[in-house]
Structures are given as C-alpha cells and as structure tokens.
Amino acid sequence: MNSPPLPALPFDVAGIRLDGPGPLARQLVEQLRQRMLQGQLPAGARMPATRDLAAALGVSRNTVVRAFEHLLDEGLISSRVGDGSYVTPPLAQMASPLARPPSRATAPAQAPEPQTPRWQALQHFTPSRTPDGPVRAFRWGSPAMDLFPAALWSRLQARAWRRHSVSDLAYGDPAGLPALREWLADYLRSARGLPCSAEQILITGGAQQGIALAALALLGPGDEAATESPGYRSAAAALALQATRVHHVPVDAEGLRPAALEALGSRCRLLYVTPSHQFPTGVAMSLQRRLDLLAWARRQQAWILEDDYDSEYRHVGLPLAPLASLDTAGRTLYVGSLSKLMFPGLRLGYLVAPPAWLPTLARLRSVLDRHSACMDQQVMAAFIAEGHFLRHVRRMRRAARERRDALLDAWGRHIAPLGLPLPAPEAGLHAYLPLPSAALEQRLTEAAVRARLEVGAMRRVGGLPDSSARAGLVLGFAAVSAAGLGDAVARLAQAWRPEIG
C-alpha cells in the first residue's frame, strides 16, 4: 500500500535533522529556534500543524506538540485559538530571557569590550595554570603532590559525607568553618610562632584571595601600594585591583630595601612582602630590614601584608619567625596557604588580622563569593584534628629536603662545571639561578623546553611590568622524585652545553 502524500508545509523542513544526542523534542526546539533567530522562519510566519510536521519529520505527534509548547513558553511562537501558531515578532523574541539558544558555542562576534582601567590592567596578567600531562622536572610552584595521601583523604571525605547534616550543605560562616579556624590558629601558634586566636583567622580561597581581600579592604580611592621587585606577579595583580598605582621596590641580598620604600611617600598605604622566603629570589629578610619595615608602617600609618606561603620548608637552620610576630603596633596582616603543604587545587588559605576586623573581612568575603566549600573545610579540619596534617607536613618537608639535595648534587656534577653554579636554596621549593643577561635566560629556557623540561624564566615568573627585570631562572625541585631530578639535570646539561659553550 502506498503511503498518503505528505501535506505541503509553510516552510522547508529538508534541513531539519533529528539524529543528534538528547530528546527529539529538544533537538527540534533548537533547530526551529535557530531558524527563527536567523530569519529563515520570519516573524509572522505560520507554523505547520503539529500533525503535518510530525509526518514530514517522521516523528510522533507528541514530540512536535512538546516542542511547540516549549517554543510557546519561550515566547518564540504565539498561538491563536482555532488558528494555529505563528512566529512572534523579533523584538518580543529578544525580550524573552529564554530565547537565547543554549547550544550556541560562542558569544556574538561584535560583543563590546569594557573600557575600564581594571579591564585594561587585567590584559597584562597571565593566570597561573599548571600544564596538563605528566609532571616535568623543575616545575615551580608545585609541592611533592605524588606524596599526597589521596586514599586517606578520600576516606575522610566519604566519612564526612556519610555523617553530614543538612546544615553542612547550606550557606556556611563566611569567616570559615569554626573548627578549621581553631585548628589553623593552633598550628600557626605552635609551628610558626605566630601569636593568634581563631577569632583572627579568615579562611580564604588560597593566599591569593587573602591578598585580594586585603587590597580591597585596606586601599581607598587614590591610594597606592607596593610590592617587591622582582616579585610575585599574582600579588601585584591583586593589589592593582584597588591601588591607583603599584610600586615595585627593589630587593637585594637582605630583602626589600626600606630606603626605596621611603621615597614613595605617604600615598603608599599597603606593602606586600615575602620576608621568610622572598619570591622568587629566595632571600630571607634580615632582622634589621624587618624592623625598618615595621617602623615605616608605623610612621606612615600604612599596612604590611606578609605572605608566608612556604615557610614550613626551611632546609637550613631553624624556621624564621614571621614578621607579624615582631609587630607590636598591629600594622601587619598575615596570609598563608595550604597550597604548598596539601595541594594547590584545594584552594584553601587564610588571612590573619586583628580580631576586631574579622566581621568586616567576613562581610567582604561574603560579598565576593560567600565562603570556601563547607565540605572541603570539614575534611581539612578532620585531617588536622586526627594528626594526619602534622605527619604529612613532616613527610613533605623531608621529601623537599631530599629533592633539593638531589638537585644540588646533580647540578654540582653536571652543570656547575659549565660555569653556572646554583646557589643552594635555604628554604622553599625552588632554587633561583641568576643569569648575566636576558638573552641567555631566553636561550636556556628554549633549550630546556626542547628537552621537555620546565624552567621558570624570570621574565615570566618574577618580572613585573614596570620594573627592570633581573635575568635568571626559577627551578622547582619538589614536584618530581630525587632520582627523576638527577636524570633531568643530566638532560638539562646536555641541552644547555651548546648554548653556554
């Protein structure tokens, strides 16, 4: 038996294909919507009867009815009783918040760019993003993540989820989980010699958010800020969110030079420093310089933001006391991070401030993103409370020390004889190799990349936009095993020999 001829349709259905993923009705909605927005189904066009369209497309009538109902809800078609459905005028379509096609992959090409100073400043900032794929030797900024006790963490996480209550899933305290604040205060007092209480601790999304929060909270219109040069680019970018200008104050063998700070005058209200382990040069700030900075802050009534990002890793002598512990005038804020002890993707850090500031800082945090993930904070608190954290820190410290020694040993055998001795890092997770010229920095970086090794060129790592960048390389030593580092140094020597000789 021959099938009856298909009824004539008011538009061409030849291009409609319903063989993609997802329900047929949704595919049909998307394709009809596309045609309407592109004008192939113009305003006022009469939609075919659902039965006819179903027959033409070879789908059930129900599918077409459901698709039409959805288009009706989106305001793309309207129906007149007894007279079928019509495509609505474009203005009415544009006003419908549902009318935007969810399947469109890119924004309209002519989207205007904001012209604000902040937007412009952000064009010069490259966010940190660890490369995908295998961990390569000399990756900087990475702790020994191969030692992270993932099985233990996942057990604690599973337990937290088994025992969770509804309030754990709701909005939490913007200052952070009280138990985690208590444990961190306890840790900072005993491990870092920083006198503080839980009431002074704001849990942040890493040190980075602590720096940005401090800039937003402490700088007013017209205020300037200062950072070290060479220095930590992410901190400079965070200060630039609020500061009218960010000065780059030179660092020498004793740390930041206070004399240069004096020259900035009274508009400079906030200074970011890394006194325990200057990033990236690795210098520990002398006691005299620390006292000079505190005196400057008192005199200028300015604030010091101390970033103590990796001070647990001290390879020579005893850990240095934080600058904040010397401050008797309450002008120092302290930021810390769990990125180097746990893992950077955890995004947990803390800001330590006077107790009276906490309510306002918590309000600011709440305005920005409310708070860090409650369940992650819970698991972190349990990890500390049950003794895993201190054990893990000891293990991480031991591994960093071993890897550092392996780097120095292999360097002494393979690369120092080429005329490039590596100063032994006294702290942290990277070594700093000063170089005589930017040209050599570039050649050595390119040769390392060709040998599939990751070195941090100062131009990228520590060069600040308006400072006279110092040439050098940052070489992380914690991310791969001691044996892996030994091999990598031998490969680096091979790759560098033609460049140096």
Ligand X SMILES: Cc1ncc(COP(=O)(O)O)c(C=O)c1O
- Tell me which residues touch ligand X (CB under 6 A): 141, 206-208, 232, 274, 279, 307, 309, 337, 339, 344, 349
CA 466 to chain centre: 23
Quote the CA–CA distance of 441 and 431 in Å, as a whole number: 15
Q: How far is the CB of 341 from ligand X (least distance, A)?
A: 10
Residues 6 or more apart from 341 whose CB is under 8 A from it?
A: 143, 312, 389, 392, 393, 396
Q: How far is the CB of 339 from ligand X (least distance, A)?
A: 3
Give 153 or 350: the residue with its C-beta nearer to ligand X.
350
**Torsion sign, CA atoms 258, 264, 265, 271:** negative
Give 322 or 349: the residue with its C-beta nearer to ligand X.
349
Quote the CA–CA distance of 198 and 113 in Å, as a whole number: 43
Q: Which residue is nearest to ligand X (CB)?
A: 206
Q: Would you state the structure tokens that stand for residue 144, as one six-digit string? A: 């020994």
Give 27 or 339: the residue with its C-beta nearer to ligand X.
339
Q: Which residues of 413-432 are buried (b: 16+ CB within 10 A; e: fewer)?
A: ebbeeeebebeebbbbbbbb
Q: Which residues of 446-478 are buried (b: 16+ CB within 10 A; e: fewer)?
A: ebbeebebbbbbbbebbbbeebebbbbbbbbbb
**Torsion sign, CA atoms 160, 166, 170, 174:** negative
Give 322 or 344: the residue with its C-beta nearer to ligand X.
344
Q: How far is the CB of 427 from ligand X (least distance, A)?
A: 12
Give 172 or 206: the residue with its C-beta nearer to ligand X.
206
Give 224 or 307: the residue with its C-beta nearer to ligand X.
307
CB 274 within 8 Å of CB 324: no
Nearest to residue 308, comparing CAs of 342, 269, 352, 345?
352
Q: How far is the CB of 459 from ligand X (least distance, A)?
A: 16
Give 127 or 317: the residue with its C-beta nearer to ligand X.
127
